[in-house]
Amino acid sequence: MTDHDPGQSNNDYVQRRVRRAQSSASDPQEPAHRDRATRYSQLGGNASEQTEASPTVSAHVPNPQFAQDLRRARAAQARNLGTTSRWKRFTRRKWFWPLVGIPGTLMLVLALILSPVLYSSLRAWRNVTVEDVEHADSAVIAQLNDAGTPELVERPTEVAVSNWNGQDRINILLLGADLSAVDGSSRTDTIMIVNIDPQTKSARILSIPRDVKVVIPGYGIDKINAAFALGDYNNVQGGGAGLMIRTIEANFGIPIHAFVQIDFNGFVQMVDTVGGIYVDVPYPILDSQYPAENFNYQRIHFPAGWQHMDGQEALIYARTRHQDGDTSRSARQQQVLLALRDQHLSADLITQLPQLITDFGGTVRTDISITDAIKLAQLALEIPNENIEQLTVTGAVHDDYGDNGIFYLRVDWLVMEDILSELVGYDVSAPGAAYMDPDYGARILVINGTRNEGLAGRIGTVLEYNGFWQISVDTAEDIDTHETSKIIDVEGNLGTSALVSELISVGQDAIIYGDDASSLASSDGYFGYDIIIILGDDAWDPAGDSWTLEQYNTEQRHGEGEMESTPAVESP
């Protein structure tokens, strides 16, 4: 093998560059950059000269077939140049990819980051949402007219959030519940109604103390928080929230369009996830009887001034009441809610969203879809703090001890109606005002018009427990002909018959009064009664409940232990 001389190779390279320059100078029309086949031809033509000058370097002889294929490919490319798509020509512009590529890349990266979050959000929301809650379906409700006399009027239209037009005011019920009670019951200390006005970008919040005395449909007269416990324990439609909604609508006369319920443990986790909240405590708070584990008490203290609270501290601050009562506790609960809102607005929610969704999964219940939740959340973010008004029932409730020795907050309905009107933005006439002066001595006949044996007696027991003491029961001769129940108000005392309809969970559109009531009672041969109840196939049966109102109150008075059974009136 002949040794390679690097110096000789450099000379050959210089000679080829000189010949190429001379050729370009002799033919000025020839392009300076010719195709590879032409250059190969020139090199091939001068191969003998190169061999003589440098015998140690092999001549580069071009492949004729390669040159032919190359020319054919060039020709095809030239023919197709004019048919390039407009999109391809557009994307070949120098500014296209710098302008589109960078934002597009950022969007892709953002999608990759958020897709697991959104996926987990959708999965968690399936655990959060519940079925739609059935509202009272009566076409009419009782209320007081200008003369102070009970009358039946058309019920206000209720629009579900899913059918909300995004422009009208909307009422959302917020419930804070203790779902970890050792006796299996559920208690709610936080009851708020939030009214949102999309037009004015404003909101009003009304807290309802848990001891407010109301009529619970199908059960009787008791504290409003008993509705949640009874609904949850007895598995009524919608659970505790469902019965609470029907109770609010039956007493306050305002529609509830949606609800959000959160467990106390979930509230603690939520506050901790956003790094706690900042609360301005208006005055020192000392409670030596705050409930602790195993039915014990603990002493808690909050000094006046700004405090940073973690989840457990915020929960205690919102629940304590022994120093200043239920109405002050309601104000603190609103304060904590708004502080949590402010913390969400200032925190980095993108990084905290996965944990918040995880917290939601097992602790929050709502009948709001994720689509509507996003719309409502966006609307809530647009409402400035100065457009949020906090309302309380101060002046509308007064201390009252019932005949059973249980403490209540009795409602002054005339004052309460003014507060409710301020909440929703129109004049409210509360049905609860129509129930406040019933005739408990009314002679009531309960007739079983179904094949459900003993139903009249069980309904009579409910009426007796709620104060009515002249109850008679009977069985209809024409069983199986009563599809719907009727309440015949012979004396025209609509306040009493309206209360009876709520106690036995019969819509007030079933009330018949005036001349029609008198003639109907006479034709059936029922004389000497003020109210006649004919139970039809739609009648509610108290036997379906595992926990009666009397049993609930027994547990409240005596604490834990085996529930005593409630005797029923012997009847057909």
Q: Are residues 367 and 491 in the same domain?
A: no
Distances (CA, A) of 138 to 142, 152, 154, 258, 560: 11, 11, 9, 19, 38
Q: Are residues 35 and 179 in the same domain?
A: no
Q: Are residues 346 and 447 in the same domain?
A: no
SS3 of 388, please? strand
| Tokens linked to 533 | 């109840």
Residues 443-457 pLDDT 10s: 999 999 999 999 999
Residues 118-173 pLDDT 10s: 555 566 666 666 667 776 667 778 888 888 888 888 876 665 666 677 788 899 99
Q: Are residues 206 and 355 in the same domain?
A: yes
Q: Which amino acid is at 500?
A: V
CATH number of the domain encompassing residue 468: 3.30.70.2390
Q: Are residues 27 and 165 in the same domain?
A: no
Residues 253-262 pLDDT 10s: 998 998 988 8
Alpha helices (H) in 364-473, listed in sequence order: 370-381, 413-424, 432-435, 455-465
Q: Which amino acid is at 308?
A: H
Q: Are residues 163 and 301 in the same domain?
A: yes
In a domain, 514, yes or no: yes
- Asked if 536 contacts 482 with a C-beta cutoff of 8 angstroms, the reply is yes
Q: Are residues 193 and 334 in the same domain?
A: yes
Q: What is the pLDDT of residue 387?
A: 92
Any idea what the Cα angle at residue 372 is, between residues 248 and 384, rounded to 5°? 80
Q: How far is residue 157's CA from residue 215's CA, in Å, rounded to a whole number?
A: 21
In a domain, 317, yes or no: yes
User: By C-alpha distance, which of 43, 41, 34, 53 is closest to 16?
Assistant: 43
CATH number of the domain encompassing residue 261: 3.40.630.190
Q: Are residues 392 and 447 in the same domain?
A: no
In a domain, 484, yes or no: yes
Q: How far is residue 295's CA from residue 274's CA, in Å, rounded to a whole number?
A: 31
Residue 275 contacts by C-beta under 8 Å, 6 or more apart in sequence?
Answer: 343, 347
What's the mean pLDDT when you consider all of the chain? Answer: 76
Q: What is the pLDDT of residue 485?
A: 93
* Domain end residue (candidates: 370, 400, 430): 400
* Domain end residue (candidates: 400, 432, 456): 400
Average pLDDT over residues 503-517: 89
State the Rg of the chain over Cα: 41
- Asked if 525 contacts 506 with a C-beta cutoff of 8 angstroms, the reply is no
| Tokens linked to 332 | 């603190």
Average pLDDT over residues 55-66: 54
The domain of 528 spans: 443-558
Q: How far is residue 90's CA from residue 68's CA, in Å, rounded to a whole number?
A: 33
Q: Are residues 11 and 155 in the same domain?
A: no
In a domain, 89, yes or no: no
Q: Are residues 254 and 135 in the same domain?
A: yes
Q: What is the pLDDT of residue 162?
A: 60
Distances (CA, A) of 264 to 179, 190, 279, 311, 404: 8, 10, 18, 10, 30
In a domain, 217, yes or no: no
Identify the burial level of 130 via C-beta atoms within 10 angstroms of its C-beta, where 0-12 means exposed, 13-18 middle and 19 or more buried. Answer: middle
Tracing tokens 């109606």 back to the chain, one arrives at 417
Q: How far is residue 411's CA from residue 432's CA, in Å, rounded to a whole number?
A: 9
Q: Are residues 242 and 139 in the same domain?
A: yes
Residue 276 contacts by C-beta under 8 Å, 6 or more apart in sequence?
Answer: 308, 309, 310, 311, 314, 343
**Please, what's the b/e burial string for 161-175 (b: 16 or more CB within 10 A of its CB; e: otherwise)?**
beebeeeebbbbbbb
Q: What is the pLDDT of residue 371?
A: 76
Domain count, the chain: 3
- Is residue 74's pLDDT more than 70? no
Q: How far is residue 566's CA from residue 548's CA, in Å, rounded to a whole number?
A: 8
Average pLDDT over residues 268-276: 84
Residues 277-320 pLDDT 10s: 899 999 898 888 887 777 788 898 999 999 999 989 988 898 88
In a domain, 381, yes or no: yes
Q: What is the pLDDT of residue 244?
A: 93
Any idea what the Cα angle at residue 399 is, between residues 441 and 461, rounded to 5°? 35
Average pLDDT over residues 88-99: 53
Confidence of residue 201 (pLDDT cuts 50, 70, 90): very high
Average pLDDT over residues 182-200: 79
In a domain, 421, yes or no: no
Any idea what the Cα angle at residue 452 is, between residues 446 and 456, rounded to 5°? 15
In degrees rounded to 5, what are phi and psi of residue 464? Answer: -65, -40
Which of 27-41, 125-139, 424-438 is the least confident region? 27-41
Q: Are residues 272 and 324 in the same domain?
A: yes
SS3 of 320, please? coil
In degrees rounded to 5, what are phi and psi of residue 105? Answer: -65, -40
SS3 of 359, please? helix
Q: What is the pLDDT of residue 364?
A: 79
In degrees rounded to 5, what are phi and psi of residue 400? Answer: -155, 135
Any idea what the Cα angle at residue 269 is, between residues 265 and 272, rounded to 5°? 140
Q: What is the pLDDT of residue 17?
A: 53
Residue 280's Cα: distance from chain center in Å? 28
Q: What is the pLDDT of residue 566?
A: 33
In a domain, 102, yes or no: no
User: By C-alpha distance, which of 287, 342, 351, 344 is closest to 320?
Assistant: 287
Residue 166 is classified by DSSP as: S
Q: How far is residue 254's CA from residue 158's CA, in Å, rounded to a whole number?
A: 9
Which of 104-108, 208-212, 439-443, 457-461 is the least confident region? 104-108
In degrees rounded to 5, what are phi and psi of residue 349? Answer: -70, -25
- The sign of the dihedral angle between the CA atoms of 278, 282, 288, 292 is negative
* Domain end residue (candidates: 400, 434, 452): 400
Percent of the chain whose pLDDT exceeds 90: 25
Q: Lay out the sheet containing 170-178: strands in order across.
A: 364-366, 258-263, 170-178, 187-197, 202-207, 388-391
